[in-house]
A and B are shown apart, each in its own frame.
Chain A
């Protein structure tokens, strides 16, 4: 199993540009999440999904959209990038009934 994969690893955007961060998992996990991590801070939950077709907001959802059309994929969309969205983004997944979350390697995003 590849586990949780994220692309791209690095991205630089200009203010106002849009892009999609990709996240995929091959473990057939129902739960998937997106977190962001800013320097010197812990991770903060952006959006999460409890299964295909179901998404919900975390604690910092503004400026981000998600969709979950398949169990495997959970893309995160930035509609109009802002410098405040400069961060490292982590995707995570876990199986139903299991406490352990598996995290991807992260995407480092810089918005100029």
Chain B
């Protein structure tokens, strides 16, 4: 699985968009970008995933650059409840078998009033 690089921490004002970057310059053609988050002491929560097209769901948007070497997770209107550690994970599709998600240290997002 490709290695990812994320900033250690970020701050965001409540109501504003939170843009969380992730570098994955060694990503392979069949590897997806997954985002999970972990609110303090809870189990990780799936947010979104994508291969090369931008994706949007009820939680967030995922923007993947054309060369796929980096991506950005966008929380359009961050709230205090979005304060969490956000993990960017790159791997082949889970649907293909196997269960391993390699979690790095992620980005601690702090949403403030």
Residues of A participating in the B interface, judged by any CB pair closer than 8 Å? 4, 31-33, 35, 37, 40-45, 48, 50, 58-59, 88, 90, 92, 94, 96-106
Q: A43-B101, A90-B43, A106-B42 are in contact. List 14 more A-B contacts (CB 8 A).
A: A32-B99, A37-B103, A42-B106, A45-B100, A45-B101, A48-B99, A50-B97, A98-B95, A99-B32, A99-B34, A99-B49, A99-B94, A99-B95, A106-B41
* 15 pairs from A and B in contact (CB 8 Å cutoff): A4-B43, A35-B103, A42-B87, A42-B104, A42-B106, A43-B44, A50-B97, A50-B98, A90-B43, A92-B43, A92-B99, A94-B99, A97-B95, A99-B32, A101-B101
Asked, given contacts A58-B100, A90-B44, A104-B43, whether A42 binds B105 with beta carbons under 8 Å apart, the answer is yes
How many residues of chain B get a CB closer than 8 Å to chain A's CBs? 24
Asked, given contacts A31-B99, A42-B87, A48-B100, whether A101 binds B41 with beta carbons under 8 Å apart, the answer is no
> Residues of A contacting B65 with CB < 8 Å?
none
State whether A41 touches B97 (Cβ < 8 A). Answer: no
Interface of A is mostly: strand
Asked, given contacts A96-B95, A97-B95, whether A59 binds B46 with beta carbons under 8 Å apart, the answer is no
> Residues of B contacting A59 with CB < 8 Å?
100
State whether B99 touches A42 (Cβ < 8 A). Answer: no
Once the chains are docked, how many angstroms separate the CA of A106 from the CA of B44? 10
Query: Is B9 engaged at the interface, CB distance under 8 Å to the other chain?
Result: no
Once the chains are docked, how many angstroms separate the CA of A98 from the CA of B49? 11
Query: Is B26 engaged at the interface, CB distance under 8 Å to the other chain?
Result: no
